[in-house]
A and B are shown apart, each in its own frame.
Chain A
């Protein structure tokens, strides 16, 4: 199974090699949760602000229960304040 991981702004520094612009296709395990992906890519807590799967916001308390499915897009935003 594959999903797409998109990391924005300062989080894009955490994309592995092979990423195109701010996204990469990743292999996911059966039942692998959003929280597990965040851990797998070593994304720091302070930078994981908004998490969306296929454009739907996943509350922080739901990240461990929400499994990623084949073809879904996981987008993660840090807090942004630039002006």
Chain B
């Protein structure tokens, strides 16, 4: 770190759980963010500000007027621009230490392996189950930790799925791939703006823990946030012994 960086990241360096060593890990980190919407906005903002060296941000949608109530990466002047590209422009104004690779596409099983392979941590901030399942499969195939958040109306969820931890479930242990697909879109159901900030900020926190310490305390736990009652609940997430995505990993294990 040079003098400017020592100053810029001094409030992190002061934290004994981060220190210079942890900040250097953040600076050399590469995070893949799937979705540059309500969750992706706080994720990218906090990670860029904290000095994550590389962010790959994927989104196939364009900025729309209805996004701006909560998607803080975007601006009215960029309505019509691809969201990944809009994010790259915004992050460049936040921190020159953070390099953004913008992927202006809805990524799927074809594109994901190469993108996930290059990343240290993957953030799920998309708006649909098919992308979420595809990302989960690739993360578990390649052994990359996945920080997954979701938000709709006044309800939010967050968990971490880490294939490197034997006891960790995968996303499909919680949401089986063969469940009937029900898409709960913000466009039809609505979403409370700061809810996405709350869940996305927590996702950013778990990404930083994974970069600094290599693990997240949220692995194997699901947090449920009720933004109407200002209440959190949590539940343990066990592995599903018959999960078609992750039950084969760590041979010799019985599952849970």
Asked whether A26 is an interface residue with its Cβ less than 8 Å from the other chain, the reply is no
* Contact residues in B for A8 (Cβ distance below 8 Å): 153-155, 224, 226
Interface size on B, residues (CB 8 A): 41
Asked whether B1 is an interface residue with its Cβ less than 8 Å from the other chain, the reply is no
| Contacting pair B236 A81 (CB below 8 A) | no
* Contact residues in B for A47 (Cβ distance below 8 Å): 182
Give CA–CA (A75, B236) in the complex, Å: 16
Interface size on A, residues (CB 8 A): 24
Q: A57-B235, A77-B224 are in contact. Are A83 and B150 (CB under 8 A)?
A: yes
Give CA–CA (A80, B129) in the complex, Å: 9
Give CA–CA (A56, B236) in the complex, Å: 9
| Contacting pair B127 A83 (CB below 8 A) | yes
Give CA–CA (A47, B180) in the complex, Å: 9
Give CA–CA (A56, B127) in the complex, Å: 27
* Contact residues in A for B156 (Cβ distance below 8 Å): 80
| Contacting pair A82 B182 (CB below 8 A) | no
* Contact residues in B for A33 (Cβ distance below 8 Å): none
Asked whether B138 is an interface residue with its Cβ less than 8 Å from the other chain, the reply is no
Asked whether B251 is an interface residue with its Cβ less than 8 Å from the other chain, the reply is no
Asked whether B22 is an interface residue with its Cβ less than 8 Å from the other chain, the reply is no
Complex A-B: 6 CB contacts under 8 Å: A8-B224, A50-B235, A57-B236, A80-B184, A81-B127, A82-B189
The 7 A-B residue pairs with the shortest CB-CB distance, nearest first, are: A82-B152, A8-B155, A57-B235, A9-B155, A83-B127, A80-B150, A83-B39
Supplied contacts A57-B236, A81-B132, 13 more A-B pairs, CB within 8 Å: A6-B229, A9-B153, A46-B180, A52-B233, A57-B235, A75-B233, A78-B182, A80-B151, A81-B183, A82-B185, A82-B186, A82-B191, A83-B37
